Structure 1
Amino acid sequence: MENAIQVSGLRKTFGQQVAIEDVSFNVKKGEIFGLLGPSGSGKTTTIKILTGELKQTTGDVHVLDTDASSFDSTQFKSKIGILSDNSSLYERLTVYDNLKLFCKLYDAPLERIDVILEEVNLKNDRNKVVSKLSKGMKQRILLAKALVHQPELVFLDEPTSALDPGNVIHIHRGLQKLNEAGTTIFLTTHDMEEATKLCDRVAFLDNGKIQELGNPDELRFKYSTHDFHIETTMNEKLVLENDSKNADQIRDLIAAGKVKSIQSDKPTLGDVFLQLTGKELV
């Protein structure tokens, strides 16, 4: 499968401070790729390099077959969508007029506005002035702005951080639908449930370095103890090694009707990150 993003030996320094150190990875066209890590790990810096907002110190970076030296071209910008901490809106304009300006900038049909407002659950708010809206609603407008011109590749930096659970579900459905239509999504998030649900692959970034990379379920299996967690009808909670020596005990509990629930150990992505780095993903 062809790559949408190819990064090799990426390094970024700010004076004497090293933000990114020898990072290499690829993102396949048509996948949802998650870059996970705590605040200060280098996630936002990486996105800014991939979108041309920052220049790398060293390393090779290609996005949609474009070298980093050409990221400021109009042709490249028209192929990507960005939701980042620098994204902004015209507060005095309505929701519709904000998106209308962006459509004109990228020569996108105005008919796209109502379609994308439906995707972010804001169709009934199209004529409201942005300054009157909540933080969560503004976040959804910024997401609509990143998607309205139907980019090939979307960079989403914490896209659901200000949203309530209902709208998070709505946005997730919209992103999955967008991805199924062929759009590649590069996502950063603190929400491990979100990453597990959406991402085909994830990379753990800590102290500017990638610590692990892979499919979420495969990583959870790789770092599992594979122990059995059993809750009995007497409300006992047992942890038994996945070992032949425990087979008789497990069988006897089941035969006696004493098992309320049984499951094998499967850590969350947050648990995996903690094992790898000793840090919480917060």
Structure 2
Amino acid sequence: MEKHTVIRVEHLSKKFNNESALKDLNFSVHSGEIFGFLGPSGSGKTTTIKILTGQLVQTSGKAMVLGKPVEQINESIYEQVGIVTDNSGIYERMTVYSNMKFFANILDVEKERIDFLLTRVGLFEHKDKIASKLSKGMAQRLVLARALLHQPKVLFLDEPTSGLDPSTALAVHELLSELKGNGTAIFLTTHNMDEATKLCDNVALLNDGIIVEHGTPKALSLKYNKDKSYQIVLKGEKEFTLPHSDDTAKKINQWITNNELVTIHSTEPTLERVFIELTGRELL
């Protein structure tokens, strides 16, 4: 499947009362790509999504979504976009199914897709429950299912698995991977670096409104792998951490020959460790 640019951002900045929330952002997102926009709370992630979806106007710079400047986003663009944020909102007096049916009618989506999506996010058995009675995690799943009704070309996800239990989060991850495989571009904001490492093709690390690093998760981990070493477990649960050296190579070869080696892992830093090294900040 040929990929094309779905989001393009050039020198994007945003100020609130002369305080800079975003500073000279540059990046692009392609069809069939999960792009992680990563950083702690208050770093500018949600502000970026609001600009890209026409909810806020940038102070300077350019941003394009599906070939249109964000200042010109209209109904035809919204019909191709899905948005999941904390304030996406649901109709609390309606049932889960009625919420989905209401938007399916607006978007001219066949009703069969409602059952499919509610099943995928684990809400089918709760489809007759009043939305106000849902837990935070269940409400988040409903918002996600609603955003996927019309099979959008670009999906904006702001902390999509926040509050979800591990099994439901895994189901959401599988659904996002399917969407990516079908050509949807997914713009994912999160401070969960483990989630980003599993899901994202490319990431940008954001701190105080500035992109401090970008690339694939693996490339960034390897780039900042300054002290190469190996974690080794031998039979009898003997554990070692050994440096990258000729002597270590000889030992590993001997353990393999003697069938003593159980596991061996390289110790490149996680995305979270890379972020902390670059910024000195913990992810909260």
Relative to structure 2, which stretch is displaced further, 216-225 or 256-265? 256-265
More divergent stretch after superposition (264-273 vs 51-60): 264-273
**2: distance between equivalents of 1:111 and 1:255?**
58
Match of 1:76 in 2: 77
1:121 match: secondary structure: coil
Q: What corresponds to 1:179 in structure 2? A: 180
State whether residues 70 and 76 of structure 1, in contact with CA within 8 Å, keep that contact through their aligned partners in structure 2: no
The reply to whether residue 278 of structure 1 matches residue 280 of structure 2 is: yes
Match in the other structure for 2:53: 51
Report the alpha carbon displacement of residue 107 of structure 1 after superposing the two structures with TM. Answer: 2.6
Match runs of 1:120-131 below 5 Å: 120-131=121-132
- How far residue 219 of structure 1 moved from its aligned partner, in angstroms, is 1.5
Structure 1 residues 128 and 23, CA gap change in structure 2 (3 angstroms):
same
Contact 1:11 1:57 in 2 (8 A): yes
Tell me if the contact between 1:23 and 1:210 (Cα under 8 Å) persists in the aligned partners: yes
Match of 1:199 in 2: 200
The amino acid across from 2:15 in the alignment is T
* Mapped pair 1:41 → 2:43: yes
Residue 104 of structure 1: how far off its partner (Å): 2.4
Deviations 1:26-69, CA, capped at 9 Å, x for gaps:
00111111111001111111111111111110001001101112
Q: 1:93 to 1:258 in 2, by over 3 A?
A: same
Q: Is the 8 A contact 1:156 1:186 kept in 2?
A: yes
Match of 1:103 in 2: 104
Equivalent AA in structure 2 for residue 8 of structure 1 = E
Q: State TM-score, norm by structure 2.
A: 0.92
Please show how residues 11-22 of structure 1 align to structure 2 within 5 Å.
11-22=13-24
Alignment of 1:1-282 (within 5 A): 1-71=3-73, 73-224=74-225, 225-231=227-233, 237-244=239-246, 246-251=248-253, 261-282=263-284
For residue 270 of structure 1, report the CA deviation from its aligned partner. 0.9
| Aligned residue type for 1:52 | G
Letter of the structure 1 residue corresponding to residue 220 of structure 2: L
SS at match of 1:99: helix
Partner secondary structure for residue 157 of structure 2? strand
Rounded Cα–Cα distance in structure 2 between residues aligned with 1:158 and 1:115: 23
CA shift in 2, pair 1:226/1:122, >3 Å: same
Q: Structure 1 residues 253 and 114, CA, compared in 2 at 3 Å: closer, same or farther?
A: closer
Give the unaligned 5+ runs of structure 2.
Answer: none
Give the Å deviation of 1:240.
2.9
Q: Residue 21 of structure 1 contacts residue 208 of structure 1 at CA under 8 Å; is this kept in 2?
A: yes
Whole-Å Cα distance in 1 between the matches of residues 109 and 234 of structure 2?
A: 60
257-266 or 112-121, larger mean C-alpha shift:
257-266
1:57-110, CA deviations, whole angstroms, 9 ceiling, x for partnerless residues? 000100110111212x11111110000122101111001111122122223233
The CA distance in 2 between the partners of 1:257 and 1:148, in whole Å, is: 53
Q: Which moved more, 1:141-150 or 1:259-268?
A: 259-268
Task: Give me the whole-angstrom Cα distance separating, in 2, the residues matched to 1:231 and 1:179.
Answer: 37
Please state whether the residue corresponding to 2:264 is helix, strand or coil.
strand
Residues 244 and 156 (structure 1), Cα distance of their counterparts in 2 relative to 1, 3 Å cut: same
Aligned mates of 2:232, 2:276 — CA distance in 1 = 24
The structure-2 alpha-carbon separation of the partners of 1:100 and 1:223, relative to structure 1 and needing over 3 Å to count, comes to same
Task: State the AA in 2 paired with 1:213.
Answer: H
The TM-score, its normalising length taken from structure 1, stands at 0.92
Structure 1: gaps of 5 or more residues: none
Between the aligned residues of both structures, percent identity stands at: 47
Secondary structure of residue in 2 paired with 1:56:
coil
Structure 1 residue 22 displacement after superposition = 0.5
Q: Which moved more, 1:101-110 or 1:153-162?
A: 101-110
Distance in 2 separating the partners of 1:253 and 1:182: 46
Letter in 1 for 2:33: E
CA distance in 1, matches of 2:89, 2:132: 12
- SS in structure 2 opposite 1:188? strand
One-letter code of the match for 1:102? F
State the distance in 2 between where 1:33 and 1:197 align.
Answer: 12
